[in-house]
Chains A and B, each alone.
Chain A
Amino acid sequence: MAGQLEGKVAFITGAARGQGRSHAIRLAQEGADIIAVDICKQIETVGYQMSTPDDLAETVKQVEALDRRIHAVEADVRDRDALQAAFEAGVAELGRVDIVLANAGIAPLSLNPVPEEWQDVLDVNLTGVYNTVEVTKQALIDGGRGGAIVITSSTAGLNGIGGNTPGGLGYTAAKHGVVGLMRSYANQLAEHSIRVNTVHPTGVDTPMVVNDVMQEFLEADPQMGQAMANALPVPMIDAVDISNAILYLVSDAGRYVTGVTLPVDAGFTNKK
């Protein structure tokens, strides 16, 4: 049976590990070739270990094991020129682009906050998404086949959670901000049959969430831990759960779905 994305090419930011790697693999399983970027470096205000070149190499290995092509580049979503160059090199190699996943993000949450967290999280999680759509949208339009953009927001993009630190407030502000970006782009790109949607995960079992710094941060405030509980009896969900939602949104099954904020949140938002 032909895959749901046979012959398509997807550009994915933050693809070295976690949700981004899961998206690359899930889309490749359905026939897509992948252009993957990731910073593969530490950002100083981020307390947990960020991705490495080895992580990105592992994504390459897993996509190639599915007999799909992948063009992987180390690039920072904050650097518009570098992102543009990475994207263009990928399209040159793989021939086209149909799908854009603005997935890269950081969560600088800690018990020892510093003021710089605010700007860093806005730069990556909001301006980085803006940069991602800006460098890719003309190629989607020029392709003349329509396309699908999915921006990764969060339950913190729909609810005022995240805590009272510069990084926590910035995270919530940025994740709300991408909903506004999504709605504007959905309106502007509809005439080209390009669809734009957001996904809103609850806690996902990835290195950004499952690490000592985040655990310490959540345990320090039991009330917040309580407030973060899901409605469905599941403490944390898997990256592939987000990938499956994205697969639906970017496949032809979702051809008339645009402007949607799709929670994959085990009922978290409904509880608020």
Chain B
Amino acid sequence: MAGRVEGKVAFITGGARGQGRSHAVRLAEEGADIIAVDLCDEIPNVAYSSATEDDLAETVRQVEALDRRIIARKADVRDRDSMKAVIDEGVAELGKLDIVVANAGICVIAGWDETSVDVWDQTISTNLTGVWNTVQLTAPHLIAAGGGSMILTSSAAGLKGLPFLTAYVAAKHGVVGLMRAFATELAEHSIRVNTLHPTGVNTPMADPRTMEKFGPLLEAHPKLGPMMTNLLPIESTEPRDQSNAVLFLASDEARYVTSMEFTVDAGNTQY
């Protein structure tokens, strides 16, 4: 049976590990070739370990094990020149571009009064400007291909004001605005644009060093704890749950789904 995205090419940011790697593998399982970028460098201020070049090599290995092609490069979503170079190289090599997954993101947990200018700047530039760079630089290729699908990774924190994440919440809400605006302007080219809103996902970003930052803050502000609750009886989703939504949105099954906030959040935003 032909895969659900057979013959398509997908560009994925933050593809070295976590959700990004999972998206690359899931789309490759269904027949897509992949262009992947990741910073693969030390990120200041975050509590978790940063992705490495070895992580990106592992994504390459897993995609190639599925007999799909992958072009993977170290690139920073904040650096338009290097992003453009990778996109152009990938499209030249793989022939076209149909799917864009703007997944790269960082997360720093801190109370509002302890959020530094550095944290604000790096979060907005990666999680918001990085998404704008990704969409604006790839859109011409999707237009050339006669249409396509873009999935922008937001968060439950893109729909509600989760605590101790001011910069992250602002950036992830901003991604929703970007999505709506691009959905409007790109519709005439049959390009669909949607956001993905995960609750907690079992990835290196959510390792115990990250999550323990919430501990003292929630103890000091106990009323805010329930905002983290998932309605469904689970603590966290798996990357593949997010990838299954990305796959649906990327595939022709969703050919008339656009400008949607797609929550894969176990009900978190409904609580």
Contact = CB atoms under 8 A, between A and B. Distances in A.
Contact of A256 (B183, B254, B260, B264): B264
A167 to B, nearest CB: 26
Contacts of A262: 257, 260, 262
A234 B189 CA distance: 11
B31 to A, nearest CB: 13
B153 interface: no
Given A267-B183, A271-B184, A260 B259 contact: no
B263 interface: yes
| Centre residue among B1, B188, B237, B266 by max chain A CB count within 10 A | B266
A65 to B, nearest CB: 19
B263 A257 contact: yes
A248 B248 contact: yes
Interface string B227-240: 00011111001000
B139 to A, nearest CB: 15
Interface residues of B, number: 37
Nearest to B191: A232
B193 to A, nearest CB: 9
Interface string A183-197: 100110011010100
Contacts of B254: 244-245, 264
A68 to B, nearest CB: 18
B231 A186 contact: yes
Contact of A232 (B199, B258, B266): B258
Nearest to B251: A244
B54 interface: no
Contacts of B76: none
Contacts of A202: 256
Contact of B231 (A230, A234, A248, A258): A258
Contact of A258 (B247, B253, B270): B270
Contacts of A248: 244-245, 248, 253
Nearest to A202: B256
B80 interface: no
Contacts of B255: 241
A69 interface: no
A256 B271 CA distance: 14
B241 interface: yes
Interface residues of A, number: 37
B131 to A, nearest CB: 18
A233 B190 contact: yes
A195 B184 contact: no
A259 B264 CA distance: 10
A270 interface: yes
A186 B267 CA distance: 8
A98 interface: no
Contacts of A71: none
A257 B265 CA distance: 6
Contact of B267 (A1, A233, A259, A269): A259
Contacts of B241: 253, 255-256
B2 to A, nearest CB: 11
18 contacts: A187-B267, A191-B231, A233-B187, A237-B256, A244-B253, A244-B254, A245-B257, A247-B253, A248-B245, A253-B248, A256-B230, A256-B241, A256-B266, A259-B270, A265-B256, A267-B184, A270-B180, A270-B258
Interface of B: 1, 180, 183-184, 187-188, 190, 192, 199, 230-234, 237, 241, 244-245, 247-248, 253-260, 262-267, 269-271
A-B pairs, top 8 by smallest CB distance, nearest first, are: A270-B259, A190-B231, A259-B270, A231-B187, A253-B244, A244-B253, A266-B256, A256-B266
